[in-house]
Amino acid sequence: MSRCIGCGAIIQSNNPEQLGYVAEAILIERGKDVYCKRCYEIRNHNFQYEVDNNLHNYYEKMKIIKKEKALILLLIDIMDIMGGFIPNLDQCIGTNKVILVVNKIDLLPKDFKLTRLDKIIRNLALKDGLNLDSILYGSVKNKEFVHKIISKVTKIKYPNKSNPFTKRKVRFNNCYIVGHASVGKSTLMNQIGKMYLEYKTDVITTNSQFQTTLDFIQWPLDKDSFLIDTPGIINPHNFCAYLKGESLHIVMPKKYIKPRTFQLQPNQTIFLGGLVRLDFKGNEKINVSFYVSNELYIHRTKTIHADEIFRSQVTKLLVPPFTDEEKEKIDNVKNLDFEITKPCNLFLSGIGFVHLVSLDAKVTIKIFKMIDVEIRNDD
């Protein structure tokens, strides 16, 4: 059974509209190592495809992992740690060891203290019932960090050995790379391919759109086992599940984030584009730092004017959303109230996080009802 080398879809030559299509003439000419029509169009023309977020299909594919002795590399995005853990993942992977890879650290300021988030991440892993071996922080675009990951895999699989791709003895079977869509799984695989398997270019299809990997893609780890890239599940509680095109480009940071800090008085409001509204109340001023994409517009105003500004400026000044159609998808909002009495972090899934400092303040958040919002104290 041949599979597309870019996304893992089963190759077929019968229906150009179905996944895995490759023209029969191309198969005859190039053999089994080919890209399907979908991958070709994504890689060469940045074609935008509709994604399939069928959770049942995802879990059906993933549950085979718990039947074997495997090692799991679970990738999460530092900009979405609360939404980065896959619900019920323990039912798919069982008690297999997990190395938690916290990716995209390069987006944060160099003086950012990861200890502010490390305890939260560890507690989330424990809450989800994961057999956590270790946590690694870095960027999978960085070769030194990728080498650190492989060294960790090596230490577990081959004590006192240096390169798993050249050794024979098996301590566990396969190593699976798991995580939500667009956290960097395929980027990690491509880095490993070039660093350890002598691939000249990126083999697996990557793109700013979600779900470029459709099925398992396996590369040899040793004679008897594989390193396996898995499909990405799209978190329905993340803003990115409801945005497309330019909106996605804006909310997903691509480079170093410059925190934007405001000292706010009671009865002031902040808009994050037209996606999130934060009303500040209480008896004390509040210091607010936004760790979000540099491209996301932040608008400050008095709360008394906020309703009219949103009504008149959403899809215009307050973007994203850019269209009425996109706005309608996220129109059904919820109100969440929080009291701030000590330094804390407010996590907005798909947007980033906000650091709040006050001794006596209140914040009301208006946000699409499907989006996860969590608050955690610094200590």
pLDDT, tens only, 247-257? 999 999 989 99
Edge-to-edge strands, sheet with 344-348: 260-264, 286-292, 352-357, 344-348, 373-377
pLDDT in tens, 159-215: 655 555 555 555 678 999 999 988 999 899 889 988 988 877 777 766 555 556 667
E strands, 174-297, in order: 175-179, 217-220, 226-229, 260-264, 268-272, 276-282, 286-292
**Strands 175-179 and 268-272, sheet pairing:** unpaired
Do 211 and 64 share a structural domain?
yes
Domain count for the chain: 3
Do 101 and 197 share a structural domain?
yes
Do 219 and 130 share a structural domain?
yes
DSSP character for 115?
H
pLDDT of residue 214: 66
Specify if 11 maps to a domain: yes
Distance CA 45, CA 106 (A): 28
- CA 98, chain centre distance (Å): 17
Q: Which of 203, 235, 267 is at the close of a domain?
A: 235
pLDDT of residue 171: 65
| Out of 13-17, 93-97, 301-305, least confident range | 13-17
With a cut of 60, say whether residue 61 has pLDDT above it: yes
Specify if 240 maps to a domain: no
CA distances from 41 to 71, 79, 181, 234, 319 (A): 33, 29, 19, 21, 29
Specify if 117 maps to a domain: yes
User: Would you call the peptide bond into 343 cis, given omega within 30 degrees of 0 as the criterion?
Assistant: no
Q: Return the percentage of the chain with pLDDT > 90, whole number.
A: 59
Do 291 and 214 share a structural domain?
no
- Domain with 350, as residue range(s), is 245-377
Do 127 and 71 share a structural domain?
yes
pLDDT in tens, 23-49: 888 887 787 788 888 888 877 777 777
HSE, side-chain direction, 13 A CA sphere, residue 358: 25
- Mean pLDDT value across residues 270-298: 97
Do 38 and 17 share a structural domain?
yes
E strands, 25-105, in order: 71-77, 97-103
Do 57 and 43 share a structural domain?
no
CB-based contact 275:248 (threshold 8 Å): no
Do 331 and 260 share a structural domain?
yes
Do 255 and 191 share a structural domain?
no
Do 282 and 206 share a structural domain?
no
Do 363 and 259 share a structural domain?
yes
Specify if 231 maps to a domain: yes
Do 64 and 189 share a structural domain?
yes
